[in-house]
Chain A
Amino acid sequence: MVTSTERDRTVAAEVAESVTDPELPMLTLADLGVLREVTVTDTGGVVVTITPTYSGCPALTEMRTDLHRRLTAAGYADVRIRTELSPPWSSSWLTERGRRKLAEHGIHPPDERAGEWAPGNGGAGPVPLTLGPPRREIRCPQCDSPATERTSEFSATACKALYRCLDCREPFEYFKEI
């Protein structure tokens, strides 16, 4: 038997999962992996737990607002948005669908093997520097050429780097591993 609390939770989760990222509108918060948990209290209140991508990410504010607004519009009177910092968000939390959506929009998805990946981080212990060329082949999302180069490790949002294709000459963004 499905209790009303379970039904409530399912509906609330569906609403929360459909909220999109303010800076990457092709991704839902669920695709991005910032949506951690949706629970419903005994009194019918909704508690949504999210996690920031970067410490200074200004989009977090908008995410909280959007979640609050959408859930309130869906009829939940008591909505609380919690922020959970630990464990820290990782780009490996992007869903398969999220990665596909990024690629469709010309943004190269991050390396999916990167569990606790950080640049030059081979695992535990002090991080060695990587002063050499990029670690792996990055193909142009426009023309699929492997001849690309990084123009900046940073881009218009905290989570992306800038690249350009040396064949089609188009610039493109790369979703960074973190």
Chain B
Amino acid sequence: MSFDNAYEAIAETHPEGDARWAFGTGFDDPLSGVDTTLPAGVDTGDLAAYCLMLGDDALILSQRLTEWVTCAHELEDEVALANIALDLLGQARMLLSRAGSVEGLGRDEDALAYFRSEPEFRNVRLVELPGGDFGRTIAALLVSSTWRLALLNRLVSSTDPVLAAIAAKAVKEVTYHREYAARWAVRLGDGTEYSAERLRSGFADVLPLVDELFTGHAVERRLAASGVAVDSTELREEFDGVLAQVAEQALLRLPEVNRVGSVGGLAGRDGVHTEHLGYLLAEMQSLARSDPEATW
């Protein structure tokens, strides 16, 4: 449902009765008013898939971080995690909207977020890791924000003006996310024996899934050739450098782990996920799916 302004949305009559369970935001398209003309010569299937990859990374991590709201150890950190989740949700909304409009099948951000099933999600598996353990959350956030920042720093020069603009906005936000995670990593690592162990164990959960971030998916590589996307294989050096810098400050010896490989050459970017994603989606999508006609 779409409205020119929120007051119209709130004041509308509701012939659909109680089908609609939230009011006042139906008019908002995150790319509203943005020039979304496609750059010449770009394969729309690839561009839509790439926007989904980056959008799904942000959406799933945002949902994971939101789980901390009401149960973080300090109010300040609850606020921080919620803010980071909100930034990521904003990035996800723009990227999913872009994906939906580029693919041209009439799917908007909500259709993509709430009505796709597990194998249709294109996020890396790392962001699916369960929350509930602050050491693991910090390890996952440090790894994902370090990677995402390195990517966004390059994506600001994308030949797709929409991706470039989304990246230019997001790069400043993710800089703060990485700072937050890095500070906590140092605080835990250079804290007590127990806190250092919790951080180390968090990294032991996260590091097995790191290689996937730098695989360089075929879609990425094709789009990188025309300057639209960033080839993620180029990000490894910067990533390793930042992680080593934080580990040194945090007195942390990154644990040796067995890497989780692909499944017959397929991984998160191809829709092959860990068992955790299904549970996350069940919670995230249940309300929308219980009443598919509902709008909000």
Contact = CB atoms under 8 A, between A and B. Distances in A.
A127 interface: yes
Nearest to A61: B28
Interface of chain A: mostly helix, strand, loop or mixed:
loop
A146 B80 CA distance: 24
A154 B79 contact: yes
The number of chain A residues touching the other chain, given as a range, is 35 or more
Contact of B175 (A55, A82, A118, A162): A118
A61 to B, nearest CB: 5
Interface in B80-112: 80, 82-84, 86-91, 93-94
B165 A127 contact: no
A126 B173 contact: no
Interface string B237-255: 0100010011001000000
Interface stretch (B13-21, B30-38, B207-215, B256-264): B30-38
Q: Which of B79, B164, B186 has the most chain A CB atoms closer than 10 A to its own CB?
A: B79
Contact of A127 (B7, B90, B153, B161): B153
B11 to A, nearest CB: 12
Interface of chain B: mostly helix, strand, loop or mixed:
helix
B245 A88 contact: no
A156 B79 contact: yes
B172 A88 contact: yes
A52 B169 CA distance: 9
B212 to A, nearest CB: 22
A100 B171 CA distance: 28
A152 B77 contact: yes
Interface residues of B, number: 53
Interface string B54-98: 000000000000000000000011011011101111110110000
Given A55-B170, A56-B93, A158-B86, A82 B33 contact: yes
Given A126-B150, A153-B180, A56 B164 contact: no
Interface string A119-141: 11100001101110000000000
A64 B162 CA distance: 20
A76 interface: no
Given A54-B169, A55-B91, A86-B161, 10 more contacts: A56-B91, A61-B28, A68-B4, A82-B34, A85-B34, A88-B169, A126-B242, A131-B246, A131-B249, A154-B79
29 contacts: A54-B87, A54-B169, A54-B173, A55-B87, A55-B91, A55-B173, A56-B87, A62-B6, A64-B32, A65-B7, A68-B4, A80-B33, A82-B33, A83-B31, A86-B161, A86-B168, A118-B175, A121-B175, A126-B153, A127-B175, A129-B242, A129-B245, A151-B76, A153-B179, A154-B176, A158-B86, A162-B79, A176-B176, A178-B173
Interface of B: 4-7, 25, 27-28, 31-34, 76-77, 79-80, 82-84, 86-91, 93-94, 149-150, 153, 161-162, 164-166, 168-173, 175-176, 178-180, 182-183, 186, 238, 242, 245-246, 249
